[in-house]
């Protein structure tokens, strides 16, 4: 418990279950005193998110598929009505069809490409556009990325291309919104055993290999990603914008 986000309010996109990176982030932000709103993508995930959010006093849970412009507009209207103002936004949303995360990148279909880029990259820009006018006292936006945006990671394929677009979006948004004292940053997390990752072939083997090569000799914990998001939403990071912070136990600095 700390007071880094006392009287601050923000919204978190991408909680699906208690293993979600978005959920670990919610816990860090809540423990720092923030009031939180959550989205859920569809009826299937509503109960999960409502159950998790119950622990958080005065939280909001709102239906919103980030690819549905009407639902996005409606969500921000409700946030404006209930919160009056926004101080931060967490974007922890990604998707690509399973078949796109195996085999060669050259085999990526147009459909898989468009889906991955729309959900994983365009949604951040869309949400930022709606959130910025509510950040009347300045604010902080944080998205989640992965090393596959920078270097070729076997099987990450079109997600790497989507994350590269997301990282570039982080810089362009930071340039646009800086004059309003809105900072925009990304966390490049090491691999984490979430539900999304569980569908990935040989994910456990990869986790082990990454832990062996990382300077800290282990995998990153969701809480460490959440605490970095807390830092990026707090005044402690007031001079940082447009940055990609690696939270990966040092894995990215190694050549071999
Ligand atoms: C998605 C998935 C986005 C898994 C993701 C992701 N960002 C990181 N991961 C974990 C991962 C996945 C692969 C990988 C390394 C890490 C799955 C659902 C779609 C969105 O390749 C070695 C494939």
Residues lower than pLDDT 70 in the chain: none
Domain annotation covers residue 256: no
Q: In this predicted structure, what is the pLDDT of residue 199?
A: 83
Question: Residue 1: inside a domain, yes or no?
Answer: no
Ligand 1: lining residues by beta carbon, under 6 Å: 94-96, 101, 146, 153-156, 159, 191, 196-197, 199-200, 206
Per the structure block, which two tokens stand in for 36? 């939180």
Cβ(196)–Cβ(146) below 8 Å: no
Ligand 1 center to 156 CA (angstroms): 6
Rounded-to-integer distance, Cα 112 and Cα 97, Å: 6
Closest to 203 (Cα-Cα) out of 221, 190, 184: 190
Name the domain count of the chain: 1
**SS3 label, residue 235:** helix
Q: Whose CA is nearest to atom 23 of ligand 1?
A: 156
Q: What is the DSSP letter of 211?
A: H
Q: Which residue's CA is the closest to the ligand 1 atom numbered 21?
A: 156
Rounded to the nearest angstrom, the distance between the alpha carbon of 238 and the centre of ligand 1 is 30
Which residue among 157, 188, 200, 206 has the greatest number of ligand 1 atoms within 8 angstroms of its CB, and so is best to mutate? Answer: 200
Residue 65 lies in a domain: yes
- Centroid of ligand 1 to alpha carbon of 147 (angstroms): 10
Confidence at residue 198, expressed as pLDDT on a 0 to 100 scale: 87
CA of 101 to the centre of ligand 1 (A): 8
Q: SS3 of 239, please? A: coil
- Tokens found for residue 177: 């919104």
On whether residue 114 sits in a domain, the answer given is: yes
In whole angstroms, give the CA distance from residue 173 to residue 125: 8
Query: What tokens were used for 174?
Result: 């930071």
Q: Which of 41, 145, 146 to mutate to test the pocket of ligand 1 (most atoms within 8 A of CB)?
A: 146
Q: How far is CA 24 from CA 91, 101, 111, 217, in A?
A: 13, 25, 31, 22
Q: Residue 186: which CATH number?
A: 3.40.50.720
**Is 231 contained in some domain?**
yes
Domain, as residue range, for 107: 9-246
pTM more than 0.95:
yes
Q: CA-to-CA distance for 123 and 168, rounded, in angstroms?
A: 13
Atom of ligand 1 nearest to the CA of 199: 17
The whole-number pLDDT of residue 140 equals 99
Asked, for residue 220, whether it belongs to a domain, the answer is: yes
> Cα(67)–Cα(115) distance, rounded to whole angstroms?
10
Residue 153 inside a domain? The answer is yes
In a domain, 90, yes or no: yes
List active site positions.
146, 156
């Amino acid at each position: 418990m700390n007071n880094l986000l006392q009287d601050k309010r923000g919204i978190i996109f991408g909680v699906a279950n208690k293993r979600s990176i978005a959920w670990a982030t919610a816990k860090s932000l809540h423990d720092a005193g923030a009031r939180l709103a959550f989205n859920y993508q569809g009826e299937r995930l509503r109960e999960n998110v409502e159950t998790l959010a119950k622990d958080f006093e005065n939280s909001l849970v709102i239906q919103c598929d980030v690819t549905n412009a009407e639902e996005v507009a409606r969500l921000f209207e409700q946030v404006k009505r209930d919160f009056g103002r926004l101080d931060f936004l967490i974007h922890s949303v990604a998707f690509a069809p399973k078949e796109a995360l195996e085999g060669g990148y050259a085999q990526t279909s147009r459909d898989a490409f468009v889906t991955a880029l729309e959900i994983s990259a365009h949604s951040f820009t869309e949400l930022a556009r709606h959130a910025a006018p509510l950040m009347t006292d300045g604010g902080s936006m944080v998205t989640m990325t992965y090393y596959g945006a920078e270097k070729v990671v076997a099987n990450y394929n079109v997600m790497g291309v989507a994350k590269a677009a997301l990282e570039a979006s982080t810089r362009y948004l930071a340039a646009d919104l800086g004059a309003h004292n809105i900072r925009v940053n990304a966390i490049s997390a090491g691999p984490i055993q979430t539900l999304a990752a569980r569908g990935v072939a040989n994910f456990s083997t990869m986790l082990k290999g990454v832990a062996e090569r990382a300077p800290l000799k282990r995998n990153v914990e969701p809480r460490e990603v959440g605490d970095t998001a807390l830092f990026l939403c707090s005044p402690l990071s007031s001079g940082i914008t447009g940055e990609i912070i690696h939270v990966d136990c040092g894995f990215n600095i190694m050549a071999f």
